[in-house]
């Protein structure tokens, strides 16, 4: 079943599968690290809102590009700008209007999606929104790989330099503030990293499934970790495994890679959760 | 040769603070000297927590000045080791006791990883609080009493000059309380201790000065605290409950 996959992977004249596999491995680094922060801080809803708002930026950039001919305004640029703007807006709202946070996040989520669909509808030529909603790892270019590698390196560097501060902001914000940590700066930094990682996720698994690949591997790793860096490493390894296995399973059967990857991720999470719950119940009885 | 006057440990001068229109603390002034241990007592809503937040620099008064060891609270926060009353945490968060205590070094260390000095300070604080054997445990896997000692270890890891504790005996049972008092007496030899407590027994045995807070402040020596003073502070009739299990027959206000 996998012969065709491995043959194409080894074929020097057929780079698509190789690029997809490399993209999965490269993207696993920011997915695993940023996903750990998202899960630990319980901000999956914020990450999901950013992911959906990205469609607004993608749609707007396609529409403006078609009208003005600005080649630099590609969907990726639109997605990055919208993701960063929504992250900043959500961060500001969550700091200043706590009681309305979920409502505002929902509004950003809905406005992003609907404006994106409207822009795409009014853009000349046929554009399939499904490409953005469910992604396709097999159409990533070498340029996309470089961008993924640069983002991954940036995330790793940020996490090494500010490891202590980010950990304190995630775990005990009040104490971090008392110790002179500028918690707002680190909160926005984290949201910025979430925004950029979400843009990558959108190219790999699409808008709808992005949140699953960001949070579920980290949630699985959380069961087996004593320290947050162990959770990050576990999550990165799981992301590598899930993206490559998803690709290997979907390629010979001609199924959408994003959907297969997420189905695999979801099943693994449910299995591990169940196993953990049974184990916990057993140890409580003892 | 002219000797400079020694800076007070904590100095509030005509401080007023309000969250909305009604002031929580109104025109309060008091001083605690270096080396003294003091206790803030008062009824719920009287302004005890607000006073802590002002000392920590988390709140800024509308009027008046606050000096902690001669500096504004914002610049003296690193010299204060803070132990909160309620520590709410996510039990599934992967955090070991050692990593938690190391957080006390924040502000005393540079970017990147914790240094050897940070680790030594954290280990010393854990040893002092007798929690060194819990270093690799997850925070969710230790008891309430152990957590209280770990919280104090985190405060001590930052080498503070003032230990500020909010209701330090609230999670400590009767048997542990005696050991806890001994521990605080030992710590008092190294630093000034400021506590917030509703526990009158704790007040009489541990501290020299008592700050009675109920929107305004009255400063007492421990010896001068009378039943009338408490009734005035709490605004009603109080009943004293003798706790026979505590050495010395300590009493609590109820």
Per-residue pLDDT tens digits for B26-68: 888 888 888 778 888 887 778 888 899 999 998 999 999 999 9
pLDDT band for B236, please (50, 70, 90 cuts).
Answer: low
> Across the interface, which of B99, B106, B111 has its CB nearest the CB of A179?
B106
- C-alpha to C-alpha distance for A82 and A104, rounded to whole angstroms: 16
Q: Do A164 and B138 touch (CB under 8 A)?
A: no
Q: Are B180 and B169 in contact (CB under 8 A)?
A: yes
What torsion, rounded to 10 degrees, do the Cα atoms A82, A87, A92, A93 define? 90
- Strand-pair partners of A90: none
Q: Do A174 and B112 touch (CB under 8 A)?
A: no
Q: So what's the pLDDT on residue B177?
A: 73
Residues of chain A with pLDDT under 70: 1, 98-99, 283-286
Alpha-carbon torsion A49, A52, A54, A59, what sign? negative
Which structural domain, as residue segments, surrounds residue A147? 3-285
Reported as a single tens digit per residue, the pLDDT across B66-91 is 999 888 888 888 889 999 887 788 88
- C-alpha to C-alpha distance for B91 and A238, rounded to whole angstroms: 23
Q: Are B40 and B213 in contact (CB under 8 A)?
A: yes
List all residues 6 or more positions away from B83 whose beta carbon is below 8 Å from its beta carbon: B148, B151, B152, B154, B155, B163, B164, B165, B166, B168
- C-alpha to C-alpha distance for B15 and B63, rounded to whole angstroms: 6
ipTM comes to 0.81
Rounded mean pLDDT of B164-181? 75
> Across the interface, which of A180, A226, A228 has its CB nearest the CB of B78?
A180
Reported as a single tens digit per residue, the pLDDT across B209-224 is 888 888 777 776 665 5
pLDDT band for B251, please (50, 70, 90 cuts).
Answer: very low
Name every chain B residue with its beta carbon within 8 A of the beta carbon of A171.
89-90, 93, 95, 100, 103
Q: Do A160 and B112 touch (CB under 8 A)?
A: yes
pLDDT over threshold 70, residue B119? yes
Terminal-residue alpha carbon distance, chain A = 45
Nearest CA distance, B45 vs chain A (angstrom) = 21
Interface contacts (A, B; CB < 8 Å) = 75
> Across the interface, which of A170, A227, A231 has its CB nearest the CB of B96?
A227
Name every chain B residue with its beta carbon within 8 A of the beta carbon of A230.
94
pLDDT over threshold 70, residue B164? yes
- Say how many CA atoms lie within 13 Å of A262 toward its Cβ: 23
Two tokens, residue A208: 């709808």
A-chain residue closest to B136, CA distance:
A226
> Across the interface, which of A163, A164, A178 has its CB nearest the CB of B56?
A178
* CATH number of the domain enclosing A123: 1.10.3470.10
Number of domains making up chain A: 1
pLDDT over threshold 80, residue B121? yes
A-chain residue closest to B59, CA distance:
A178
């Amino acid at each position: 079943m996998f012969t065709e996959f491995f043959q194409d992977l080894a074929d020097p004249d057929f780079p698509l599968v190789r690029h997809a596999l490399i993209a999965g491995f490269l993207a696993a680094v920011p997915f695993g690290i940023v996903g750990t922060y998202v899960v630990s801080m319980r901000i999956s809803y914020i990450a999901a809102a950013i992911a959906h708002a990205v469609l607004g930026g993608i749609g707007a950039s396609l529409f403006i590009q078609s009208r003005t001919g600005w080649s630099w305004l590609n969907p990726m640029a639109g997605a990055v700008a919208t993701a960063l703007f929504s992250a900043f807006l959500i961060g500001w709202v969550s700091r200043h209007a706590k009681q309305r946070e979920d409502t505002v996040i929902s509004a950003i989520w809905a406005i992003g999606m609907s404006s994106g669909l409207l822009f795409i509808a009014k853009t000349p030529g046929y554009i399939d929104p499904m490409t953005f909603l469910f992604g396709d790892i097999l159409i990533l270019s070498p340029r996309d790989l470089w961008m993924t590698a640069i983002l991954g390196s940036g995330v790793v560097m940020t996490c090494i330099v500010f490891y202590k501060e980010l950990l304190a902001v995630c775990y005990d914000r009040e104490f971090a503030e008392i110790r002179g940590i500028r918690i707002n700066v680190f909160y926005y930094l984290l949201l910025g990293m979430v925004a950029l990682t979400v843009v990558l996720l959108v190219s790999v698994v699409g808008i709808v499934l992005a949140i699953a690949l960001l949070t579920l591997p980290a949630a699985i790793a959380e069961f087996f970790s004593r320290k947050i860096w162990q959770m990050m490493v576990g999550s990165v390894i799981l992301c590598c495994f899930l993206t490559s296995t998803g690709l290997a399973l979907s390629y010979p059967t001609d199924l959408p890679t994003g959907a297969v990857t997420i189905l695999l991720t979801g099943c693994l999470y449910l299995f591990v959760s169940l196993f953990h719950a049974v184990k916990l119940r057993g140890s409580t009885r003892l | 040769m002219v000797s400079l006057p020694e800076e007070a440990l904590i100095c509030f001068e005509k401080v007023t603070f309000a969250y909305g229109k009604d002031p929580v603390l109104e025109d309060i002034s008091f001083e605690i000297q270096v080396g003294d241990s003091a206790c803030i007592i008062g009824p719920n809503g009287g302004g005890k927590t607000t006073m802590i937040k002002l000392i920590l620099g988390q709140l800024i008064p509308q009027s008046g000045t606050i000096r902690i060891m001669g500096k504004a609270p914002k610049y003296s926060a690193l010299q204060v080791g803070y132990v909160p009353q309620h520590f709410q945490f996510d039990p599934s968060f992967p955090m070991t006791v050692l990593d938690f205590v190391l957080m006390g070094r924040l502000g005393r260390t540079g970017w990147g990883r914790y240094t050897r000095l940070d680790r030594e300070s954290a280990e010393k604080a854990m040893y002092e609080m007798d929690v060194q054997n819990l270093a690799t445990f997850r925070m969710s896997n230790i008891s309430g009493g152990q957590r209280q000692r770990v919280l104090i270890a985190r405060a001590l890891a930052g080498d503070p000059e003032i230990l500020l504790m909010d209701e330090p005996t609230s999670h400590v049972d009767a048997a542990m309380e005696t050991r806890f008092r001994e521990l605080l007496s030992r710590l008092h030899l190294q630093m000034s201790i400021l506590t917030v407590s509703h526990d009158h027994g704790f007040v009489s045995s541990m501290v020299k000065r008592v700050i009675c807070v109920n929107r305004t402040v009255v400063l007492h020596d421990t010896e001068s605290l009378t039943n009338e003073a408490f009734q005035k502070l709490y605004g009603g009739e109080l009943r004293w409950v003798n706790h026979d299990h505590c050495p010395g027959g300590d009493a609590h206000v109820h």
